[in-house]
């Protein structure tokens, strides 16, 4: 094993364990990633030494906590190349970020007869907020279709996005199909029709370089826990001019400028969207995760994962009875691989793989409209990250063969 890779793997203590008497092979990274010791230590350090509320107290602990919290915001800004740190809003995660946009920008700007365009491959987090907004406002929700190999149908996108469209919201990377969507082209198309471009970046930011200015998206949402950071914290990037126009999402402490008995005024962005006590430790942990990812290099991570998929995807496709969803060409397929084995329910397959220590996901992956489009109720899903290697990939394939033998299929 490469010594550099072994050093990285050793940073993740949870991976050094046995499951059902087998060495753990963790391949559920699209659901949540594991955390390096450096991130865990950052959380412990905050609670042991700096635990205080931010932007409230002038005492030393409060000032240290505020400094670390805002430093994390600046790290995230640079990580995705936002123009300014005030365009970075801390939230609970991608779901919270997308609900924030729908409940603020959407509530103000969507009227009866307007159109909202998403795709059939969206995670429920980027579907239900727009669905419910459309129902409330009597707007029309439209879905961009996919091609036969599971890629976004750009011809259909050009038909669905019209001058009536006010919002286009698309996943940067699918959590089921293993495809990366051309956000830059979609944003250009949306802006041609004077619509805003929203992106669900939950599956993209952990795995590739993301430059929100180059993509020219208006909003971009992602989660800490999928990029080796803590759970319970996420990010909404929004262009400053849009954030300034939007009303607050929630009301309470630290998002106000002045409170009278019968009216209030709001503080500046991003803080007007961060009501109440924030997940300070989570944000600091996210900042440490960004440091860790920067040290490895996002392009290095993307290249490494591409090589891993190029190794494992052909081996999966060779297994008799396997159906892989999404492109079968590894040049168009990222580290999320959804599949089914003929004659075996995906939950049973996932349970069988777990007996060999291989952790994969099984279910509809919060993408039920896509499952219906694919003609299935659920799939199994293996998802890779930079701390996985070819041995992990081999063990996945071996475990599937073991399951076939056990169930005699």
Non-local CB neighbours of 356 within 8 Å, separated by 6+ positions: 20, 22, 25, 395, 398, 399, 402
Go through 191-230 and write b for each residue having 16 or more CB atoms within 10 A of its CB, e for each that does not: eeeebbbbbbbbbbbbbbebebeebebbbbbbbbbbbbbb
Q: Hey, how many other C-beta atoms are within 10 angstroms of the C-beta on 178?
A: 27
Structure tokens at 391: 């041995």
d(CA 150, CA 200): 18
- The upper half-sphere exposure of residue 46, i.e. CA atoms within 13 Å in the direction of its Cβ, equals 26
Non-local CB neighbours of 192 within 8 Å, separated by 6+ positions: none
Determine if the peptide bond prior to 96 is cis (ω within 30°): no
Non-local CB neighbours of 225 within 8 Å, separated by 6+ positions: 32, 33, 93, 231, 232, 233
211 to 38, 233, 343, 376, 385: CA distances (angstroms): 25, 20, 43, 35, 20
d(CA 332, CA 180): 7
d(CA 274, CA 276): 7
Q: Catalytic one among 89, 168, 360, 366? A: 366
The question of whether 98 is a catalytic residue gets the answer: no
Rg (CA), the chain: 22
| 196-200/219-223 β-pairing | parallel
Catalytic residues, which ones? 366
């Amino acid at each position: 094993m490469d010594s550099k890779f072994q050093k990285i793997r050793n940073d993740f203590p949870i991976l050094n364990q046995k499951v059902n008497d087998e060495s753990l092979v963790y391949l559920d990274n699209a659901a949540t990633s594991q955390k390096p010791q450096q991130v865990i230590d950052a959380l412990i350090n905050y609670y042991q030494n700096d635990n205080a509320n931010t932007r409230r107290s002038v005492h030393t602990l409060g000032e240290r906590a505020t400094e670390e919290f805002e430093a994390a915001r600046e790290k995230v800004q640079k990580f995705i190349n936002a123009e300014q740190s005030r365009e970075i809003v801390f939230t609970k995660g991608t779901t919270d970020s997308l609900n924030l946009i729908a409940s603020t920008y959407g509530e103000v700007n969507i009227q009866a007869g307007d159109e909202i365009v998403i795709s059939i491959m969206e995670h429920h987090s980027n579907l239900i907020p727009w669905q419910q907004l459309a129902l409330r406002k009597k707007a029309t929700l439209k879905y961009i279709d996919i091609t036969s190999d599971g890629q976004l149908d750009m011809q259909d996108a050009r038909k669905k996005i019209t001058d009536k469209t006010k919002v286009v919201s698309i996943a940067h990377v699918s959590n089921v199909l293993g495809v990366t969507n051309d956000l830059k082209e979609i944003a250009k198309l949306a802006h041609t029709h004077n619509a805003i471009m929203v992106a669900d970046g939950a599956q993209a930011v952990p795995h590739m370089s993301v430059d929100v200015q180059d993509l020219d998206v208006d909003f971009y949402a992602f989660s800490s826990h999928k990029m080796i950071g803590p759970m319970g914290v996420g990010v909404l990037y929004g262009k400053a001019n849009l954030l300034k126009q939007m009303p607050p999402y929630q009301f309470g402490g630290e998002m106000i400028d002045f409170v009278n008995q019968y009216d209030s005024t709001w503080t500046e962005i991003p803080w007007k969207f961060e009501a109440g006590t924030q997940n300070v430790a989570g944000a600091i942990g996210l900042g440490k995760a960004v440091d860790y990812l920067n040290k490895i290099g996002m392009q290095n991570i993307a290249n490494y994962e591409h090589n891993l998929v190029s190794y494992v995807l052909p081996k999966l496709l060779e297994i008799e009875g396997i159906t892989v969803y999404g492109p079968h060409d590894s040049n168009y397929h990222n580290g999320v691989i959804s599949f089914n084995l003929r004659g075996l329910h995906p939950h049973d397959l996932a349970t069988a793989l777990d007996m060999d220590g291989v952790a994969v996901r099984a279910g509809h992956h919060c993408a039920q409209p896509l499952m219906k489009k694919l003609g299935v109720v659920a799939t199994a899903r293996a998802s890779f990250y930079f701390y996985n290697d070819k041995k992990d990939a081999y063990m996945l394939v071996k475990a599937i063969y073991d399951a076939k033998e056990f169930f005699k299929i």
